[in-house]
Amino acid sequence: MSHRTAVVNRIGLALVGLILLVAGAAALARGLGLASGLLGSRTSPVVSKAIAAYTARNSWFWPALAIVALLVTLLALRWLLHQARTGTIRYVNLEPDPGHGATHLSSRAAAAALEDDVADSVHQEGAARSERVHATLDGAPSAPHLALAVVLPDRADPTAARHGIQRAVDRLRRSLETDRLPATVQMHTTRTH
Amino acid sequence: MTSPELHPGPEPVPEPPQVDERAQRRAAARAFRPSRKVPATVTAVLLAAAGLATVIAAVAAATRGRAQQPPLTWLAPLGRARWDDPATLITAAVACLLGLLLLVLALTPGRPRLIALASEDPQTITGITRAGLRRHLATVAAGVDGVSRARVRLGRRRVEVKAATPLRDARELPGQVTQAVTTRLEELRPLRPMRVHVSVREREE
Residues A168 and A140 grouped into a single domain: yes
Q: Is the pLDDT of residue B102 over 60?
A: yes
Q: Is the pLDDT of residue B51 over 50?
A: yes
What lies within 8 Å, CB to CB, of B101 at 6+ separation is A17
Residues A145 and A55 grouped into a single domain: no
Residues A36 and A53 grouped into a single domain: no
- Confidence category of residue B36, pLDDT binned at 50, 70, 90: very high
Query: Could you tell me the CATH number of the domain that includes residue A175?
Result: 3.30.300.20
CB B33 within 8 A of CB B109: yes
pLDDT at A37: 73
Q: Is the pLDDT of residue B5 over 80?
A: no
Cα end-to-end span (Å), chain A: 31
Query: What is the rounded distance in angstroms from the CA atom of residue B121 to the CA atom of residue A182?
Result: 10
Provide the residue range defining the domain that includes A127. 91-190
Query: How close is the nearest chain B Cα to the Cα of A43, in Å?
Result: 6
Range B2-25 burial, b when 16+ CB lie within 10 A, else e:
eeebeeeeeeeeeeeeeeebeebb
Residues A104 and A137 grouped into a single domain: yes
Closest to A63 measured CA to CA, from B74, A51, A71:
A71
Q: Determine which of A151, A187, A191 to mutate to test the interface with B (most B C-beta atoms within 10 Å).
A: A187
pLDDT at B126: 92
Residues A128 and A141 grouped into a single domain: yes
Query: What is the rounded distance in angstroms from the CA atom of residue A60 to the CA atom of residue A68?
Result: 12
Residues A169 and A108 grouped into a single domain: yes
Query: How close is the nearest chain A Cα to the Cα of B196, in Å?
Result: 18
- Specify the range with the lowest mean pLDDT, choosing from B8-22, B36-50, B186-200: B8-22
Highest mean pLDDT among A121-125, A138-142, B75-79, B127-131: B127-131
Query: What is the rounded distance in angstroms from the CA atom of residue B165 to the CA atom of residue A173?
Result: 48
Q: Is the pLDDT of residue B6 over 60?
A: no
Ramachandran quadrant class, A135 (left: phi over 0; alpha: psi -120 to 50; beta: rest): beta
Please give the DSSP secondary-structure letter assigned to residue B188.
Answer: H
Residues A30 and A61 grouped into a single domain: no
User: Measured between beta carbons, which residues in chain B are less than 8 angstroms from residue A75?
Assistant: 47
Q: What are phi and psi of A34, to 5 degrees?
A: -80, -30
Query: What is the rounded distance in angstroms from the CA atom of residue A122 to the CA atom of residue A115?
Result: 11
Are the Cβ atoms of A63 and B58 closer than 8 angstroms? yes
Number of domains in chain A: 3
Q: Determine which of B26, B35, B46, B100 to mutate to test the interface with A (most A C-beta atoms within 10 Å).
A: B35
Are the Cβ atoms of B41 and A80 closer than 8 angstroms? yes
Residues A117 and A170 grouped into a single domain: yes
Q: Does A1 touch chain B (CB under 8 A)?
A: yes
Domain boundary among A85, A115, A148: A85
- Specify the range with the lowest mean pLDDT, choosing from A97-101, B36-40, B131-135: A97-101
Query: What is the rounded distance in angstroms from the CA atom of residue B5 to the CA atom of residue B109?
Result: 14
- Confidence category of residue A43, pLDDT binned at 50, 70, 90: confident
pTM: 0.75
- Among B40, B54, B81, whose Cβ lies nearest the Cβ of A79? B40
pLDDT at B2: 44
Closest Cα in chain B to A150: B128
pLDDT at B182: 93
A49-85 residue pLDDT tens = 888 888 888 889 989 999 999 999 999 999 999 998 8
B138-167 residue pLDDT tens = 999 998 888 888 999 998 889 999 999 888
B169-188 mean pLDDT = 89
pLDDT at B28: 87
Closest Cα in chain A to B189: A159
Residues A102 and A176 grouped into a single domain: yes
Query: How close is the nearest chain B Cα to the Cα of A85, in Å?
Result: 11
Number of other CB atoms surrounding residue A58 within 10 Å: 10
Q: Is the pLDDT of residue A22 over 90?
A: yes
CA triple B115-B121-B127, angle to 5 deg? 15
pLDDT at B159: 93
- Specify the range with the lowest mean pLDDT, choosing from A117-131, A174-188, B2-16, B28-42: B2-16
- Confidence category of residue B90, pLDDT binned at 50, 70, 90: very high
Closest to A69 measured CA to CA, from B131, B161, B51:
B51
Closest Cα in chain B to A191: B135
Query: What is the rounded distance in angstroms from the CA atom of residue B29 to the CA atom of residue B31?
Result: 6
Q: Is the pLDDT of residue B57 over 90?
A: no
Residues A23 and A109 grouped into a single domain: no
Domain boundary among A85, A100, A117: A85
Residues A9 and A34 grouped into a single domain: yes
- Whole-Å CA distances, B97 to B65, B90, B100, B202: 39, 11, 5, 48
A to B CB pairs, distance under 8 Å? 233
Residues A58 and A105 grouped into a single domain: no
pLDDT at B1: 41
- Confidence category of residue B3, pLDDT binned at 50, 70, 90: very low
Average model confidence (pLDDT) across chain B: 83
